[in-house]
Chains A and B, each alone.
Chain A
Amino acid sequence: MQSYSLSHLQQLESEAIFIMREVASQFERPVLLFSGGKDSICMVRLAEKAFFPARLPFPLMHIDTGHNFPETIAFRDALVSKLGVELVVRSVQDSINEGRAVEETGPNPSRNGLQTVTLLDAIEEFGFDAAFGGARRDEEKARAKERFFSHRDQFGQWNPRQQRAELWNLFNGRKQVGEHFRVFPLSNWTEMDVWQYIAREKLAIPDIYFTHEREVVNRKGVWLAKSSYITLMRGEQYEQRQVRFRTVGDMTCTGAVESEADSIASIIQEVAAAKVTERGSRTDDRRSEAAMEDRKKQGYF
C-alpha cells in the first residue's frame, strides 16, 4: 500500500483549520483578536485557508493600547484593506477616558493589564461569543495547560482548575448566555513553527521584526524602545543600537534584542540558536512568577 503522510507543519496547519471551522460552526459571533504580531498574522492566513474561497466569516479586532509601534498599526491597516475584512478597533484610551480603567503610574506605566477591561467591554458590546487568540502552549507555563476551547464565565474569567476535559478532536463549545470562549488554534505550535510557516507561506510581517537602528534604554536587562510613554530614571540614558523585536506588544513592555537578522531566513537561524525564550524580553511577564496566570484569570488574552 502506498504510504500517506503529512509533515508536522502540514498537520499543525490542518488542525488549526479544523478548529477555525469548528468555531465558525459552533458559535454565533466569533471574532479574531489581531495584534499585528507574527502569531496573529499566521492566524489570519489560516483563517483565509479555512474558508477559501469564501471570505472570513468573522471580523478582526484590535485592542489598541495607544502605546503601539506605529509600524504595527500601518501594517495592520494595509493587511486589512488587502484582504477586505472587517476590522474593529477598541482603545484602552477610551476606557480610561470613560473612567472604566485607571492608568498605572510610575516610570514604566504599562497599559498591558488595562487591555483586559477594554477587551471584555468590547466582547460584551458586540456580543462576541468566541474570540480567537494566537497564544501557544510553548510560550508560557500557564498557557501550557490551557485548552484549545477555553471557557470564560460571565465575568470573562478563566478558571484553570475547572477546565473541561478535551479529548480527541471533539471540542465542546457549549455555554450559558453571557459566557464566552477563547480559542487557540496555534496551541500546539512553537515559535520555530510560526517562523517556518511565515517562511513557507511567504507572509509579510512588520518591519520591527527585522534589524534596524533604534534608540533604546536598558532597564533591568531589557532594551526598551525610546518613546514618549517612558520616563528615564536616574542613571539611564538612551543609546543607539542595532536591534530587532522578537514579539510585538506594547512599546512600554516589549524589549528589543540586539540582532543583525535582516530576513526571515536569518531570523530562523537566530531563533534556532536562541538561549532565551521570546517572552524573556517581555517585562509584563516578569512582574511575578504567576503574572500570566493571574492576568488570564482576570480575562486577559
Chain B
Amino acid sequence: MDNMEETVQTSSQYLSMDLLRFTTAGSVDDGKSTLIGRLLYDSKAIFEDQLDAIERSSKSAGDENINLALLTDGLRDEREQGITIDVAYRYFATPKRKFIIADTPGHIQYTRNMVTGASTANLAIVLVDARHGVVEQTCRHAFIASLLRIQHLVLCVNKMDLVDYQEEPFEKIKAAFKEFSSKLDIPDIRYIPISALKGDNVVNKSAAMDWYQGASLLYTLENVQISSDNNFVDSRFPVQRIIRPQSDNFHDYRGYAGRVAGGVFKPGDEVIVLPSGLTTRITSIDTMDGALQEAFAPMSVSISLADDIDIARGDMIAKADNQPVVGQDIELMICWLHEKKLMPGGKYALKHTTREVRCILKEVKYKVNINTLHRMEKDKEIGLNDIGRILIRTTIPLLYDSYKKNRTTGSLILIDEFTNETVGAGMII
C-alpha cells in the first residue's frame, strides 16, 4: 500500500498520465470483487461515505464482512437479488496511469456483457481459483478476449493462500492455460499468482512466494506497453460531420470533422475520398487549440482539403496507396445480444464507423461452441449470447478493414429496425 500513498499529483504529472482500459472476468466466487475492491481501496478510489454506505447495506443484508461487490452493483435489482446484471465501469489512478475497469458479471448474460466490456479494452484480467485451475469459464473468457482482439491478457491465479503459496499448483495451471491459449490469438499473456484477500502480489510483491520472479499485478497494469496496439500504418478518417461556419471570420471555411481511426494524417498528404474515389490534398488539420502538424488515432480533429469535392457523413478519407476494402458482401463473426434470434433472411439496420445502412442476412456459416472453440456446422441457430460466422449483404458498400487490422473500421452493430434495439455485434473477417 505504501507506494500508492502518493496520490496527490501535480498538474503536470496528471496531464501526462496515460490511460489503460481493462476488463475483469471470472466466475462466481473467484474473488473478482475482492480484487477490484482492493485495487480501488489501495489506490484510494473508494471514499469514506461510499465505504459507510456499503457497510450499512452489508449489515442490513446480514453479511459479516463488508461486501465490496455492493460498490459496483449499483442498481436496486442487483442489490436486492445479489447479482450483477450489467457491465459496471470503475475508475482509479496511480501517479503513472489512469485506469478504467469494465467489470463484467461472470454468470448472467456473460457473453453479451463480456463482449461489451472487451470491445474497448486494452487488457483483460482473467481470474482462476488456484484450487480449481482452468475451468470452462476460463476458456470462454480467454476466447472472447481473443475474439475482441485484446492484445494483453493477465491470468491471475487467485487464492494462493489456500494452496499454501506453493509453486506447483501455479505451474500446473500455467501449463494448462498455455496449451489452451495456443489456439487463440493473444500476443501477450502473463501469469501472476495472487491472493486478493491477503493482498499478495496485487499491489506489492509477496514475501510468501519467493519462487515467483515476476511483477505484481498493479506494477504490470502500470507498465504494460499499449501505445503500439493502435494501428499507425493504415490511415483512415471516417467523416463524421461537415463544419461550415458561414460566419464573417470563416466565410469559406469547410472542414471535415471526425476522429482518426488509424494511421497518421499530415497537411500536404495526398488523400483519396471514398466511395467517390476522388483524390485531393490535405491543406490543414484544425482544432480550436490551433492547427496541427499531424493527427493520429484517436484524435478528434477537422480536416480541410484543397479541392471542393462532394463529401458526406459516412464517407472515408484514406491514402491512395493504402485503401480500405469497399464492398457489400461482408463476412463477419457475430455475437448475438438479444432474446429474439437472428432471422434467416432477416433485414437489419447496420452501423459501421459513421455510416448507417441496411443489410440482409445471407448465410450462417457456423456457430462456435465457446467452451471448446469447435465449429458447429449443423446447428446454425444464433440466439442470445451465441457467437457465429455469418455472411451479410448491405444496401450500399461499406468502407472497411478486417477487425484484426483495425478495431474501429472492422467493427459494426446490427439494429432491429422495429424496436431500434442493438441486437448484434460484428467483427469483420
Chain A interface (Cβ within 8 Å of chain B)? 1, 3-15, 17-18, 21-22, 24-25, 48-55, 137-138, 140-145, 160-161, 163-170, 172, 174-176, 187-188, 190, 192-193, 196, 199-200, 265, 268-269, 272-277, 280, 289-290, 293-294
Contact = CB atoms under 8 A, between A and B. Distances in A.
Given A5-B18, A7-B16, A49-B287, A25 B48 contact: no
A69 to B, nearest CB: 23
Given A8-B98, A165-B422, A52 B287 contact: yes
B272 interface: no
B41 to A, nearest CB: 13
B74 A21 contact: no
A1 B296 CA distance: 13
A14 B408 contact: no
Given A144-B72, A170-B351, A54 B89 contact: no
Contact of B243 (A54, A265, A273): A54
Contact of A272 (B9, B73, B91, B415): B9
A270 B50 CA distance: 18
Given A50-B300, A165-B425, A280-B49, A144 B74 contact: yes
Given A54-B243, A289-B57, A145 B299 contact: no
B422 A4 contact: no
A174 B415 contact: yes
Contacts of A4: 227, 230, 232, 264, 296-297
Contacts, number: 206
A164 B113 CA distance: 11
A169 B89 CA distance: 16
B342 to A, nearest CB: 15
A108 B391 CA distance: 61
Contacts of B422: 164-167, 172
A141 B425 contact: no
Interface in B248-299: 249-250, 253, 255, 257-259, 264, 286-289, 296-299
B3 interface: no
B3 to A, nearest CB: 16
11 contacts: A5-B18, A8-B17, A22-B240, A25-B240, A137-B89, A141-B72, A145-B89, A160-B86, A168-B120, A172-B420, A199-B11
Interface in B293-310: 296-300, 302
A141 B53 CA distance: 11
Given A52-B286, A165-B337, A269-B8, 12 more contacts: A4-B296, A7-B16, A8-B18, A11-B298, A14-B259, A25-B241, A54-B245, A55-B247, A165-B112, A174-B420, A192-B14, A293-B75
Nearest to A9: B15
B87 interface: yes
A141 B68 CA distance: 13
B390 interface: no
Nearest to A45: B288
A120 to B, nearest CB: 20
Interface residues of B, number: 85
B87 A145 contact: yes
Contacts of B211: none
A290 B76 contact: yes
Interface of B: 7-9, 11, 14-19, 47-50, 53, 57, 71-77, 79, 85-91, 93, 97-98, 100, 112, 115-116, 119-120, 227-228, 230, 232, 240-241, 243-247, 249-250, 253, 255, 257-259, 264, 286-289, 296-300, 302, 313, 337, 349, 351-352, 354, 407-408, 411-413, 415, 420-422, 425
Contacts of B420: 172, 174-176
A174 B412 CA distance: 15
A152 to B, nearest CB: 13
A293 B300 contact: no
A25 B242 CA distance: 9
A112 to B, nearest CB: 19
A275 B47 contact: yes
A280 B286 CA distance: 41
B90 A7 contact: no
Contact of A172 (B9, B245, B313, B351): B351
A273 B300 contact: no
A163 B113 CA distance: 12
A53 B302 CA distance: 10
A253 to B, nearest CB: 16
Contacts of A9: 14-15, 17
A14 B299 contact: yes
A53 B300 contact: no
Contacts of A276: 47-49
B413 A172 contact: yes
Contacts of A24: 241
B47 A265 contact: no
Contacts of A164: 421-422
Given A21-B240, A52-B288, A168-B120, A192 B93 contact: yes
B47 A274 contact: yes
A168 B411 contact: yes
Contact of B249 (A53, A167, A188): A53
A159 to B, nearest CB: 11
